[in-house]
Amino acid sequence: MRVSIAEKKKHYRIIFQLLTEDNRIFIKEISKAIKTNNQVASNRLREAFKKGYILGPHIRKRSYLPFVEYVYFVRCKDPLEQYLKFSEDQRVIYHAVMDGFANLWVISKEEIDINGDVLVGGPRSDYYMPIAPDHSWDTAIQIMRKKVEDFNQKEYEPKEYIENHWNETIEWDEEDEILYRYFKYNLRKPMKSVTMKYCISGQKSYEWLERLPKTCTILTYFFPETISAYDPYIFVFETDYEDFIIDLFSELPTTSLFFKVSDKLILYAYVKKKSVRDGDIRPISDISALHIPLLVRNLSKKGIIRNAEHAIVNYHWGKSI
C-alpha cells in the first residue's frame, strides 16, 4: 500500500523522538511505535537519515579537564587558505568558513595561534541541545514574539541549562577514546565491529555506553522539511538572560545547539531560508518575512541582549578525533 508523504513525515518525527529517548533503539521497537513491520520500520529509519530529516545521533565530549576544547570565531584575510591548513592539523577537531561577523570558525584540542582577528575565543562549555518541538515555523515565530513581548527582567530566574566542568576530571582510558572516535558521528554503528578489531571486552563496551550521558553530550538533530530547506547559522549573544534566550530559540522546529565561549552565548541553528536574508538580488518586498533579524532587534530594544552577531556557515570539516 502506498504511504503518503505526510504519513512518512509523521513516522520520521516519531523515529526522532524514539532516538532521543534511546539512541540505539532496536528496529522492532520502532516498528511497534509506527505500527508497521520490521522491514518497513528499517526503511523509514534509513530514509530519515538519507533524506536529511534526522542527523545523528552524534556524541561530543563534555568539558571535563582531559577534554577541554577551544573555540575561535575569527575574521581573517584568506579563510580558504586557513581552512586548507587546518584540514591537515590534527589539533583541529572542526573548522568552517562563514559569511558574516566572522569568516572562520575553529574548534581545537588545544590553544592555537590563528592568523587574523579573534573576535570570540576560549574554552567551550558543555553543549546543550533541546528537543525540537512539533509545530510549524510560523507558529514558532508567533510564540517567540509573544515571549519577548511578555518578558519581565524582574521575574527572570536562571535555569542553568549550560554547564562546564573545566576544573573536574573524569576517568578516560585508551579504550574509551577508541570507542568515542568510532561512535562520534554515528552512535548507532554496530558495537561488534570495533570491539573485535581492538579486542575490547563486551563488559567494557557496555559500561562505556552506560557512562555516556555523563562523559558526552548526545546530539540528534531533526529537520521537519529536510536539512536542505534550512540555512546553518551561528548567532553570538551577549546577555544577562542566557536561559531565556535558550528557551526562546528552542521554539524553533529545527534542532538548535547551544554552548558558551568566554561570556558569550553561542547558538548554532538551522533557520528557514529567507527568515534571516532574502537571498534575492531584488529589493526585499516584505521586511516582515525576515523573522530572525526583527526578533533580535526586539530583544535588543527590550534590553534582553546587549549585542548580537551572526554568520552563515558555507562549508565545514569535522574530524573523528
Class (C level, CATH) for 5-51: mainly alpha
SS3 22: coil
Q: Which of 49, 71, 61 is nearest to 119 (CA)?
A: 71
Number of Cβ atoms within 10 Å of the Cβ of 94? 17
CA distance 53 to 48: 5
CA distance 256 to 138: 17
Which pLDDT score, from 0 to 100, does residue 285 have? 37
Domain 137-159+230-315 has CATH 3.30.420: no
How do the domains of the chain map onto residue ranges?
5-51, 70-123, 137-159+230-315
Which pLDDT score, from 0 to 100, does residue 275 have? 54
Which pLDDT score, from 0 to 100, does residue 2 have? 75
Are 317 and 94 in contact, with CB atoms under 8 Å apart? yes
Examine domains 5-51 and 137-159+230-315 and report if their fold is the same. no
Q: Is the peptide bond before 57 cis (omega within 30 degrees of 0)?
A: yes
Which pLDDT score, from 0 to 100, does residue 274 have? 62
Which pLDDT score, from 0 to 100, does residue 282 have? 40
Q: Which of 169, 194, 168 is nearest to 179 (CA)?
A: 194
> What string of pLDDT tens digits covers the 321 residues of the chain?
678 889 999 999 999 999 999 999 999 999 999 999 999 999 999 999 999 999 999 999 999 999 999 999 999 999 999 999 999 999 999 999 999 999 999 999 999 999 999 999 999 999 999 999 999 999 999 999 999 999 999 999 999 999 999 999 999 999 999 999 999 999 999 999 999 999 999 999 999 999 999 999 999 999 999 999 999 999 999 999 999 999 999 999 999 999 999 999 999 999 987 656 555 444 433 333 468 889 999 999 999 999 999 999 999 999 998
Are 258 and 220 in contact, with CB atoms under 8 Å apart? no
CA distance 307 to 121: 16
Which residue shows C-alpha cell 556557515?
A: 313
Which pLDDT score, from 0 to 100, does residue 283 have? 40
Which pLDDT score, from 0 to 100, does residue 1 have? 61
Q: Which of 177, 180, 187 is nearest to 56 (CA)?
A: 187
Are 251 and 267 in contact, with CB atoms under 8 Å apart? no
Number of Cβ atoms within 10 Å of the Cβ of 120? 19
Q: Are strands 264-272 and 216-222 parallel, antiparallel or unpaired?
A: unpaired
CA distance 321 to 182: 9
